[in-house]
A and B are shown apart, each in its own frame.
Chain A
Amino acid sequence: DGGITQSPKYLFRKEGQNVTLSCEQNLNHDAMYWYRQDPGQGLRLIYYSQIVNDFQKGDIAEGYSVSREKKESFPLTVTSAQKNPTAFYLCASSIGWRSNQETQYFGPGTRLLVL
């Protein structure tokens, strides 16, 4: 079954702790993205990656880090520097540079809560 998976579904973070959210896709997409959604707000872009070993900051990258060592995987680390991490985190992918098709497909999301 092709698609995007995110884990865990729920994640609890203690003060001062770094946590990593997983995102995997088997759609053979080059581009991957991380968004954050707060209640009543639109999606805001944290980081994106056009291709393996490349990634760029989005609009709200402070307090987050990513890696793109494999085409299929784009994990997001929420560091202790992110002072307000409670949110719904969504990973997405798109075909990328090989196509003009810009549609992004989303994983089911991870809800991060601070204890």
Chain B
Amino acid sequence: RKEVEQDPGPFNVPEGATVAFNCTYSNSASQSFFWYRQDCRKEPKLLMSVYSSGNEDGRFTAQLNRASQYISLLIRDSKLSDSATYLCVVSHRVRGSTLGRLYFGRGTQLTVWP
């Protein structure tokens, strides 16, 4: 079973739409959770960390459900510039190490059209 599972999409939405992405993770010991954004042929960039209480950054809202091992990202009022691949990422400690390892989902592709 993969560490992180996401719906690959693609999601095609008009400008101004609200779109939601989900992912699930398999390791209940996972400690940190993130959404990264990756533009075509570029490196991933941190979009936001995800906290148990849920958190919001402008038009973006992230939620974490530890009991269900489920993470979500909601984008409101979509812009053309939101078109990208969104990577769900979880972290847990490597056995015998103080270092956290990141595990990446395959990404969900979003295209926002005018």
Are B104 and A102 interface neighbours, CB within 8 A?
Answer: no
Q: Given A40-B8, A40-B106: A45 and B101 within 8 A (CB)?
A: yes
Instruction: Report the interface size class on chain B.
Output: 20 to 34
Q: List 20 other contacts, CB 8 Å, given A42-B107, A102-B91, A103-B49.
A: A40-B8, A42-B104, A42-B105, A43-B44, A43-B87, A45-B101, A45-B102, A50-B98, A56-B94, A56-B97, A96-B99, A97-B99, A102-B31, A102-B32, A102-B100, A102-B102, A103-B34, A103-B46, A106-B44, A108-B43
State the CA gap A97–B32 with chains docked (Å): 15
Q: Does the CB pair A90–B105 fall under 8 Å?
A: no
- Nearest to B105 among chain A residues (CB) is A42
Which chain A residues border B101 with CB–CB below 8 Å? Answer: 45, 48
With an 8 Å Cβ cutoff, the count of chain A residues facing the other chain is 22
Task: Tell yes or no: A78 within 8 A of B by CB.
Answer: no
What are 17 A-B contacts with C-beta separation under 8 Å?
A: A31-B99, A42-B87, A42-B105, A43-B87, A43-B104, A48-B101, A50-B97, A88-B41, A90-B44, A102-B31, A103-B34, A103-B49, A104-B102, A105-B46, A106-B45, A107-B43, A109-B42
Distance (Å) between the CB of A108 and the closest chain B CB?
5
Q: Which residues of B contact A96 (CB under 8 A)?
A: 99
Q: Flag whether B4 is at the interface (Cβ < 8 A).
A: yes
A102 to B107, CA, bound (A): 20
